[in-house]
Amino acid sequence: MLEPVMFTGGVYKHDLVIELVEDLGGYLLQKNITQSEVILLMLIPREDMQIMEDMTKALMGKLDRAPLAGTETAVVTPTLAIHHLPHPACDVAEYLRRHGSKSNMIGMARGVGRDIAQMTGYETALINEHDAVVFTFGNFKKCILKKEHLYRNIEIPVIITGGPDMEQGDLPYAAEYVSNIGRIAHRSRKATEIESLDNIVDAVGRSLDMTREEIAKDPLTTIPPRAMEVIREQVPDINQSYAPLPITLNLKGLRIKLPYDQYQEAVKAVTFDEGVTLGEIAKVMPSRMKNYILVRISPTSVTGFVV
């Protein structure tokens, strides 16, 4: 069982951590260097956690559990206008990022208003490429209830945030509702506001756990981090990608930030040690996000084997 963790420490000797991850059979998901600090998101075998903790101590770093690591969350606002941004949508996105998730902000083209709010098929499809979605709604109960049609067709867990207290039963199409985080015009800094952000992270975590449980019933042919490692080795051009996270992990696959037309063959031909190619065990298709490549790994029930 792999445990998602986040290492925060100095740049000096952080290579030792990366080497240790490889030695333990874990995976490095993301590496962020900000001046003299480095943040590493990793998956480590649970039984070897003590070894990593000792190493962290020796390097005077910090090791935290990052329950959202290896997932991608969409934060959706009705539009990108000053009414909805930067507060509180950026606070939510930033908070999810701090807990290990890759968060993408999506502003709808025509999401405003009570009666006139609309969602296009493209927006729905784009959101469906994520693992969970947070809709940031406002302070009026009637509007939140009315906007249900925006997320009714979404297949991934939907977390709604809004101001007023509401019963879960009022929003049957949402996985969870988090109150006390409606429209605000200042940065979240009060204890109650931070607590609401924590509630969102908890709600996203619970929804992702449900998806994980669902996947566990019919496991994927291979885990996405392993596919990522092999792609990194066999499609070296990915290292030239300027995207912040050239290979983004999802629970059921990954997104490769290279042009689809040019690289789809190379990605399909990626071969595992067992001799199977990625094209045989996964669907490789164009992503709705730019012209990236979306990979969805087939479950064992489809392929009949595990690599």
Partner 1 sequence: MEMKPLEVFEIEVLDEEYGGNKYKEIIADILQDLGLIRSIGKLYVYADMESAFFAVFGLIRGKLPPLRVRDVGDLIQAEGGYQIVVEDEEHMSDLLKVLWETYGRDKVEQPDRVVLTIESSTSPEDLVVADLETEFRRDLVDALIRIAPEGFRNRRNIMKKDHFFFLAAEETIDPALIAEVEEKFRSMQNA
Return residues touching partner 1 (CB under 8 A). Answer: 78-79, 81-84, 112-117, 138-143, 163-165, 182-186
Minimal distance in Å, beta carbon 162 to partner 1?
A: 10
CB 126 within 8 A of CB 289: yes
DSSP secondary structure letter of residue 88: T
Minimal distance in Å, beta carbon 144 to partner 1?
A: 10
Minimal distance in Å, beta carbon 133 to partner 1?
A: 20
Strand partners, 38: 9, 33
Q: Which helix (H) or strand (E) holds 41?
A: strand 37-45
DSSP secondary structure letter of residue 299: B
CA dist., res. 75 & res. 57, Å (int): 35
C-beta closer to partner 1: residue 140 or 260: 140
Minimal distance in Å, beta carbon 126 to partner 1?
A: 21
Minimal distance in Å, beta carbon 256 to partner 1?
A: 36
C-beta closer to partner 1: residue 100 or 163: 163
C-beta closer to partner 1: residue 18 or 80: 80
CA dist., res. 232 & res. 250, Å (int): 16
Minimal distance in Å, beta carbon 84 to partner 1?
A: 7
Minimal distance in Å, beta carbon 267 to partner 1?
A: 41
C-beta closer to partner 1: residue 9 or 162: 162
DSSP secondary structure letter of residue 84: T
C-beta closer to partner 1: residue 99 or 147: 147
214 φ/ψ angles, rounded to the nearest 5 degrees: -60, -45
Q: In what order do the strands lie in the sheet with 27-34?
A: 27-34, 37-45, 2-10, 62-65
CB 101 within 8 A of CB 204: yes
C-beta closer to partner 1: residue 125 or 143: 143
C-beta closer to partner 1: residue 68 or 200: 200
How many Cα neighbours within 13 Å face the side chain of 137? 31
Cβ partners under 8 Å of residue 43, min gap 6: 2, 3, 4, 5, 26, 27, 29, 69, 70, 225
